[in-house]
Amino acid sequence: MPTTQKINQVEEVAKKISEAKSAALVQYQGLNAADTTDLRASIKNVGGSIEVVKNSLITRALEKLGIKLPEELTGPTAIAYCNEDEIAPLKEIDKVNSAKDKTSFKYGIYNKKLLSLDELKTFLSLPSKSTLISQFVGGLANPLQRLAYALRFNQTQLVLTLKALSEKQK
């Protein structure tokens, strides 16, 4: 029979997942305490958080949100919540995985839908929100800069031609 504490934990995890822009289930086995602390700090710096939760509680929280896992979770699992940017905290985990090969993604969650490992890797290949915004602004500014240059070009050519004519007449 579930205890009140476990029911509250399930409620809390479900609430955090539903409020997060995206989330991921991560296997973190093999990280020592210092690496875990560094990972938590780097995730926090980019607007996310990570917590270790029992697999049964994760499964119940996901079921409460209408998300069914295709298979039972095994091994130690942490949930990474992306609260500000959908991708940046997950990229921090991916950096640790690339450097130490100690973490791995199990599943991702975006818009209350479960992402498989392949879909999550595609999701991670997207640029971050700040990069997308800067590319968009640059894309908007580029045609305006070209137009201003094109308008100035004819004036510059006219001035240079008049200058060359005046020097020729002297």
**pLDDT averages per 10-residue partition of the chain, 170 residues:** 82 90 86 84 89 90 89 88 86 79 81 85 81 83 78 81 83
Instruction: Give the per-residue pLDDT at 1.
Output: 52
Burial of 162 (0-12, 13-18, 19+ CB in 10 A): exposed
Instruction: Give the per-residue pLDDT at 12.
Output: 92
Give the pTM: 0.72
Residue type, 54: K
Instruction: Give the per-residue pLDDT at 51.
Output: 92
Please write down the long-range contacts of 90-95, taking CB distance under 8 Å and 24 or more positions apart.
90/22, 90/24, 90/48, 90/120, 90/123, 90/124, 91/46, 91/124, 91/128, 92/39, 92/42, 92/43, 92/46, 92/48, 93/24, 93/26, 93/39, 93/43, 93/50, 94/124, 95/42
Residue 126's alpha-carbon distances to 1, 25, 31, 57, 76, in angstroms, are 43, 19, 26, 30, 27
